[in-house]
Chains A and B, each alone.
Chain A
Amino acid sequence: MFSIIKAAVGGLTALCRVNGHQQGLLHGHLKVLASGLKTHDIPPDYSEVMLPDRRKLKFVKKMPDFKNAKKEMKNLKDIQGPATAANAFTKGEFAIVAMGGGYLHWGHIEMIRLTINRKMDPKTTFARWRVNGPYKPVTRKGLGMRMGGGKGAIDQYVTPVRYGRFIVEVGGKVELGEIQRIMTEVAQKLPFKAEVFSRASLAAFQKRHADMEQNNQNPWTFKEITLGNMLGIRKVLSPKDLCHNGRFAGKFHLPWRV
C-alpha cells in the first residue's frame, strides 16, 4: 500500500522538480491521493485584538454591604419584558444571552465563575461579567410557619435578569468553536433559557425577527387590535401587553410571536 504522505506535500514535490526525472524517481511514488480534497480556511488574524490585564471573571459577593438591610417588595416586573440595559456587545466577541426572565442567585454566579475560569485559557481569552452581583433581597418564612405574623426575614439576595440581557461576555484570540462548548455548558445550567451568541449570530437572530415582522402575511397585528381596543379586548389584557405586543407572557418570551 501507499505510504501515508499528504497530497499537498506530493503536489509541492511535483512543483519542485527542478533536477529533472531523478528527484521524481525517488519521491514521486510515495503519494496517497484521497478521493476528495480537504481544504483549510485561512485562520483569522488576531493581531489587533487587545487582551485586558485581568482576564478571568472576578469574584462576586453573596450580598451587598448593608448596615441595615431593608426588606423589599417582590416587584416581579423586574423579570418581565425585554432587557434595555446590557443587551449589546461591548468588548467581547461571544456572550451568553438570556432568552427568558429569571433570578440569578449567588450559587448560579459562582457556578458561572468557576466553570469559565477553570475551562478558559487566560493567555488567549478574557471574560467579563455583564450582570451585577445579587442586590435584591428575597425573604422567606421559616419552614412550617403559618400564614401571618409579618413578612419573613431576608433569606438571600438575587439579581433579576430580563430577556435579552447578557450574562457573561467572552473575547480574545479565540474562535466560536473553541469557546462554545464551555459557554453552552454554563448556559444550560442557568435558571432561565440562555443561548450562546457571537456578534454575527446575534445580528442574524435580530434580523430574522425583523424579517418576520416585515414579511408577515397576516393583515391583523396584535398591536393594531390592542391599540384600538377592538372588541374591548383590553378587558382581558394587561397594560404590559400594550408594550410587549403579545411577545411575552410573564417572564417567558414567545419566539413564535411576531
Chain B
Amino acid sequence: MAATLCRILLPKQGWLPFTQCVRHGSKSVTRHKRPLHFLKQKLMSVTRYIPPPRPVPLGAYPRKTSRDQEDDPFTILIKKKLKSVLQESKMIAVVQNSGSTGDEMVLLKYKLLKHGITVKFFPNQVVRSFLKDSTYSNMAPLFIGHTVLFISKEPKVKEMLSSLRTSRHMLLLGAFIDNTLLSAQGVVSYSKLPSVAVVQGELVSGLTLLTSQTAAMLQRHPAQLSALLQQHVKQQSSEGAPKAEEAT
C-alpha cells in the first residue's frame, strides 16, 4: 500500500516531483508467505474455487472396476481357439489338477489319447470372460483354481474315469456331455448307463414280447398246444359257472 504511493512515474527526464516519499514499504516478494491483510483474506475466501456438485456423493457406489476393458490380441486368439474347441467336441470335462508332475501328465495324456481324448490348458480369466458372453454361461463356476480341460469328439466317459481313478492329483469337477451339464456324480451315473444299441434292443423286445411268445408257443409240439387250449377252455367255463352262480 505504502509502496504504491512511492512508485510515481516520472513523465520527463529530469523532472522531480514536489514531494518525495521517504517511507519504503516492506517487500512484496519474500521467502516466507507474507501475512495477508484481513480484507485481502476475506477477498480470497469470498472468491475461492467452488467445484461443481457431484451427481452422486463419494462412497455411495462402489468404484468402477476395470472389467469393461477391451481384450488384447492374445486373449482374442485364445477365445477363438476356445470357441472352435467347444463347438467341435461332444464331451468337455473340467478336471482340477492339484500338482501333478510332468511325467504323470505325459502318462495321463498318452492313456487318454489312445481313446481320442485331448488335454487342453486355457487361462481361467479368459475362459470365464468367454463363457459369460456365450451360451455355456452355467459352466463358469467350474473354472476356479488349476483346471484342465479334457476334450473329445465322442463321449468316452468310462475310459476317462478309469484313467482319472489311477491318477492321484486329478479330480473331476464336472462335464458338459451332449449339451448337458453334469456334475461329477452325474458323470459317474452317465458312465453306468448302457449303450444306445442295448437300450434300443430292450425297447424292441419289450414291444414285441406278446407276439414273440405266441410265435414260440406255435412252434412247439401240437399235442402241447391242444392241451394248453383245452386247459384254457376249462378255465373259461369254470370262470363262467361261478359268475352265473354269483349272478343268481
Closest B-chain residue to A237, C-beta based?
B40
On whether A1 and B99 interact (CB within 8 A), knowing A28-B109, A238-B28, the answer reads yes
Residues of B within 8 A of A252 (CB): 33
Q: Looking across the interface, which residue of chain A has its beta carbon closest to that of B119?
A: A28
Tell me the complex Cα distance, A258–B51, Å: 11
Are B74 and A29 in contact, with the CB atoms below 8 A? no
Annotate B29-45 by CB proximity to A: 1 below 8 A, 0 otherwise. Answer: 11001101101100110
Contact B29 A218 (CB under 8 A): no
Interface Cβ pair total, 8 Å cutoff = 120
A interface residues, tally (CB under 8 Å):
52
| Chain A, 11-28, CB within 8 A of any chain B CB | 11, 14-15, 21, 24-25, 28
> How many Å from the CB of A235 to the closest CB on chain B?
6
The stretch among A52-60, A73-81, A85-93, A111-119 that forms the contact with chain B is A73-81
Instruction: Tell me, yes or no, whether A210 is within 8 Å of chain B by CB.
Output: no
The DSSP consensus for interface residues of chain A is loop
Interface string of B12-40 (1 = CB under 8 A from A): 00000000000000011110011011011
The complex places the Cα of A258 from the Cα of B48 at a distance, in Å, of: 7
Tell me if A141 counts as interface (CB < 8 A to partner B): no
Asked whether any CB of chain B lies closer than 8 Å to the CB of A10, the reply is yes
Report Cα–Cα, A239/B36, bound state, in Å: 15
Check if A236 sits within 8 Å of B39, measured CB to CB: yes
- Measured CB to CB, the nearest residue on chain B to A3 is B102
Q: Are B74 and A35 in contact (CB under 8 A)?
A: no
B residues touching A (Cβ–Cβ < 8 Å)? Answer: 1, 3-4, 27-30, 33-34, 36-37, 39-40, 43-44, 46-53, 72, 74-75, 77-78, 81, 99, 101-102, 105-106, 109-110, 113, 118-126, 146
Residues of A within 8 A of B (CB): 1-3, 7-8, 10-11, 14-15, 21, 24-25, 28-31, 33-37, 39, 76-77, 79-80, 101, 212, 215-218, 220-222, 225, 231, 233, 235-240, 246, 249-252, 256-258
